[in-house]
Structure formats: structure tokens, C-alpha cells
Amino acid sequence: MKDTGGTEDEPRTFGSTYTAAVNGADKDSYLDKGIRCIVNCSNNSKTSDIVSFRYFDSDHYILGDVDGDKAVTSIDTTFIQRDIVRMKLPAYYDRVAADVDGNSSVSAYDVTWIQRDLVNMSTPYAIGDVFKRPD
Ligand SMILES: [Ca+2]
Ligand SMILES: [Ca+2]
């Protein structure tokens, strides 16, 4: 596989996009390594394709992305609202990403900040930005 990302000169960073030549059979195994295909994802051709990937790892998170789909959407706010009322949550629910205002608790304020961000209103928090997970 020809890969333009992850060299010593150009290390992969969380959330960065890079391209690679991947054939159809290879694509699935490639995606298992914490790499998410964002372009030409459904291609099952036998020949190699140049595809764009976005690189993710488990040491980082996106502020507000509690379901881990790498985007901040209204689904994330729904999960946080469930958390607030102590409803059952899936294992992938990320409470670190839910605490948008960083006050160590998950509350309706966190939901409101995300909702503001979703409609492009200003917030004092870097919702959608990548952060390193605390140790
Ligand atoms: Ca999300
Ligand atoms: Ca909070």
C-alpha cells in the first residue's frame, strides 16, 4: 500500500486528513487501525484507489463528540441529555467529551453550549476541536 501519511517527516496527527492508495480488499483491514475513510469509502474495486482518510486514535477526543463518530451533531446532545437524567448509555459514550465547559460535571449547560455551536452561535469553548485525553 502506498501511503502518503505517517512518515517521520510528516507524522499522522489526530483528525488530520491524508491520502493513500488502497485496493478494495485492503480497505477494510486498513480501517481497523483507527483510520476512518472519508472519501470513496464504498469502493470495492480490485484495483488500487487513491482515497482520503482521516486519522484517529484513542488518546484524543473531539470536544462535544460523545458518541465518537468524529462529528459534533444533535445526536451528541441527545446522549448528554440522557446522561443528565441517568438513562442507560452505550459503552462508547464519552463523558470527557461531554463536559464542554470543563467544570468536571455533565449538565444542561454542556448541552446548551453544543446546541449554540450547532447553529453557529458563539461559545467560549472550542467545540469540535481535538484535545488530548487526560491521563
Ligand atoms: Ca458525534
Ligand atoms: Ca460541564
CA of 96 to the centre of ligand 2 (A): 9
pLDDT less than 50: residues of the chain: 1-3, 32, 39, 43-47
Same domain, 102 and 121: yes
Q: Which of 62, 88, 57, 55 is nearest to 76 (CA)?
A: 62
State residue 24's pLDDT score: 59
CA of 98 to the centre of ligand 2 (A): 7
Same domain, 7 and 20: yes
Same domain, 22 and 66: no
90: CB partners within 8 A, 6+ apart = 67, 79
State residue 13's pLDDT score: 72
Same domain, 42 and 90: no
Domain membership of residue 11 as a residue range: 2-55
Same domain, 101 and 119: yes
Same domain, 72 and 23: no
Same domain, 90 and 119: yes
Contact 114, 84 (CB under 8 A): no
State residue 1's pLDDT score: 35
CA of 77 to the centre of ligand 1 (A): 9
Cell of 112: 446548551
CA of 17 to the centre of ligand 2 (A): 30
Last residue of a domain, one of 55, 71, 90: 55
Same domain, 70 and 120: yes
CA of 105 to the centre of ligand 2 (A): 4
CA of 110 to the centre of ligand 1 (A): 14
Q: Which of 59, 68, 1 is nearest to 28 (CA)?
A: 1
> CA-to-CA distance for 63 and 127, rounded, in angstroms?
5
Same domain, 49 and 64: no
